[in-house]
Amino acid sequence: MTVPNALPGSHPGLLDLGGRTALVTGAAGGIGRACTLRLAAAGAKVRAVDLDAPGLATLAEQAQDLVGTVEPYVLDLTDLDAAEHAAAGTDVLVNNAGLQLVRPIEEFPPDVFHTVLTVMLEAPFRLIRGALPHMYGQGWGRIVNVSSVHGLRASAFKSAYVAAKHGLEGLSKTAALEGAPHGVTSNCVNPAYVRTPLVERQLTDQAHAHGIPEERVLTEVLLQDSAVKRLIEPEEVAEAVAYLCGPQASFVTGTSLVMDGGWTAH
């Protein structure tokens, strides 16, 4: 079997990113941390982007024994020009950074809505824009957008997050259509609730919004629509991201890889 765009000497079923540069946003923790370590384990030089400088330093230390390397890159993604510049020369782009606030629309602060859309939709656009010239020039590239089940379904009290993720789905599909003639794929990974600080921080807000005790939020809100009654581990999401970067996924583009425990099967 001949797999298009496979690295010379690579096995079609294995992820070998030796010689590739990857960029992961929100890299200091949660899904971003897991993705960074997974891509570095595959041999990539990973540009780890986050605001959390100490967290990035710890991440780089954890990656010291891996085949690839981790380069800490402290960046505020609301600086859109800097974000676009950071993506130059990137072979693999993982748009993962996110933030969350749980409030009814009539109480949702407009400035927070603006920030969420900037970080989770406009910054990915600028990062993709910065990465594509290099990807097009070499005839190969992988864009993986960490979306959410909320890119496919809405939940109450999450207007900014849901709007950003729905927009990211459309951006990803457009990038797929434009990138296909250049050997560039673009896909979304859509997990339900992942065991991350982002999820843990919203338990109090969810309890207040739904009028229930915090200890009931996990079972009665977060996992209510999931057939599999557990949180997803960040490493599981990282494996899905890795799959989309591999040669065996060269024909997978413009789609969403759903990891929702059966949520959208209803």
- As annotated, the active-site residues are 161
Angle at which helices 53-62 and 30-41 cross, to 10°? 30
Q: Where are the beta strands (DSSP E) in the chain?
A: 21-25, 45-50, 69-74, 92-95, 141-146, 184-191, 256-259
Rounded-to-integer distance, Cα 125 and Cα 110, Å:
21
Cα–Cα dist 222/231, whole Å: 9
Three-state DSSP at 253 gives coil
C-beta separation of 43 from 67 below 8 A: yes
